[in-house]
């Protein structure tokens, strides 16, 4: 057996082992997002499937690079290869393009089905909670570098932290006051661009009470990395009503300084010192 053939067989065995170990690991570990909303499970399944599909290709490419370096490595002072050595392999290239195209097509179909299921899940009504908050609208206002939230069904008061009632069908209206941000609520499987003068609508149903974290998912300036809501909460419906009423009372004196609730806002340029 030639040394090259032995090396190829060794690398093939390494690849099979890497695929096997990787597949076991991906089957065991938990993928984001947490199962905290009605849409997160299907997103998690899709991420897991894509990882399963991508890992054999990724490991094959890395091992092929290593193998090529071992076989084709030449001394720095060696004569350049004759042009006839630099030939392609149409059959290999065709197989590669065919296999990758098929995988991308299948993943595209699965992604589309997941997105479609998610959208139909969003129009299903709430399964619990008190009737008046079964369908809650919340406005997410992004600006450099924080999120604020307004609750139109409670007089449009503003909160620095997102508080949601469990099991409610929540519709987020996402907008921005300055540059493009992205409202990313990983645990809920929600990510929506926050664009000035646009009302970007997305829904989810929180299923688990607890503290959560929201981050900005779009590079938006110097402090983008620090733009997060570290005290988001999902609470029981009755706790939420109490909280909202307290906030409404506490905010009453400053409501006259807030612009009236609207889909989007045009900030006063004077506020930025221009
Ligand atoms: Cu941002």
Q: What distance in Å separates the CA atoms of residue 197 and residue 35, rounded to the nearest whole number?
A: 32
190-201 confidence digits (pLDDT tens) = 999 999 989 999
Distance 165 CA to ligand 1 centre (A): 25
Helices (H), the chain: 3-28, 40-72, 90-123, 237-251
Name the burial class of residue 43, with classes exposed (0-12), middle (13-18) and buried (19+) by CB atoms within 10 angstroms of its CB: buried
- Give the pLDDT score at 126: 41
The pLDDT mean for the chain works out to 86
Kindly give, in sequence order, each residue whose CB lies less than 8 Å from that of residue 114, ignoring residues fewer than 6 positions away.
Answer: 42, 43, 45, 46
Evaluate if residue 129 carries a pLDDT over 60: no
137-159 confidence digits (pLDDT tens) = 999 999 999 999 999 989 889 99
Kindly give, in sequence order, each residue whose CB lies less than 8 Å from that of residue 36, ignoring residues fewer than 6 positions away.
Answer: 187, 188, 206, 207, 208, 210, 212, 234
Distance 224 CA to ligand 1 centre (A): 5
Q: Which fold, 131-267?
A: Immunoglobulin-like (2.60.40)
Evaluate if residue 167 carries a pLDDT over 70: yes
Extents of the domains making up the chain: 3-72+94-123, 131-267
pLDDT band (50, 70, 90) for residue 111 = confident
Question: Which two tokens mark 31?
Answer: 């993928």
- Give the pLDDT score at 128: 41
- Can you tell me the mean pLDDT for 254-274? 75
Distance 183 CA to ligand 1 centre (A): 8
182-224 confidence digits (pLDDT tens) = 999 988 989 999 999 899 999 899 999 999 999 999 999 999 9
- Can you tell me the mean pLDDT for 5-11? 88
- Give the pLDDT score at 19: 95
Q: Which residues surround ligand 1, an ion (CB under 5 A)?
A: 181, 216, 220, 227
């Amino acid at each position: 057996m030639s040394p090259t053939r032995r090396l190829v067989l060794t690398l093939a065995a390494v690849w099979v082992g890497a695929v096997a170990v990787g597949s076991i690991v991906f089957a065991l570990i938990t993928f984001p997002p947490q199962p905290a909303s009605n849409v997160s499970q299907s997103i998690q399944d899709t991420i897991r499937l894509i990882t399963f599909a991508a890992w054999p290709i990724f490991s094959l490419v890395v091992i092929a690079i290593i193998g090529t370096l071992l076989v084709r490595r030449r001394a720095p002072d060696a004569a350049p290869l004759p042009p006839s050595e630099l030939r392609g392999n149409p059959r290999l290239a065709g197989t590669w393009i065919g296999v990758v195209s098929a995988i991308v097509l299948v993943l595209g179909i699965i992604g589309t089905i997941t997105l479609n299921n998610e959208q139909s899940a969003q129009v299903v009504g709430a399964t619990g909670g008190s009737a008046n908050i079964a369908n809650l609208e919340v406005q997410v206002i992004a600006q450099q570098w924080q999120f604020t939230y307004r609750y139109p069904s409670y007089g449009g008061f503003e909160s620095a932290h997102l508080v949601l009632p469990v099991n409610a069908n929540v519709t987020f209206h996402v907008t921005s006051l300055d540059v493009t941000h992205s409202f990313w609520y990983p645990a809920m499987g929600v990510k929506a661009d926050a664009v000035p003068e646009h009302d970007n609508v997305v829904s989810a149903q929180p299923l688990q009470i607890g503290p959560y974290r929201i981050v900005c998912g779009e590079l938006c300036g110097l402090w983008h990395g620090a733009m997060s809501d570290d005290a988001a909460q999902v609470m029981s419906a009755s706790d939420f009503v109490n909280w909202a009423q307290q906030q409404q009372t506490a905010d009453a004196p400053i409501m006259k300084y807030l612009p009236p609730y609207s889909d989007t806002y045009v900030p006063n340029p004077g506020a930025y010192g221009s």
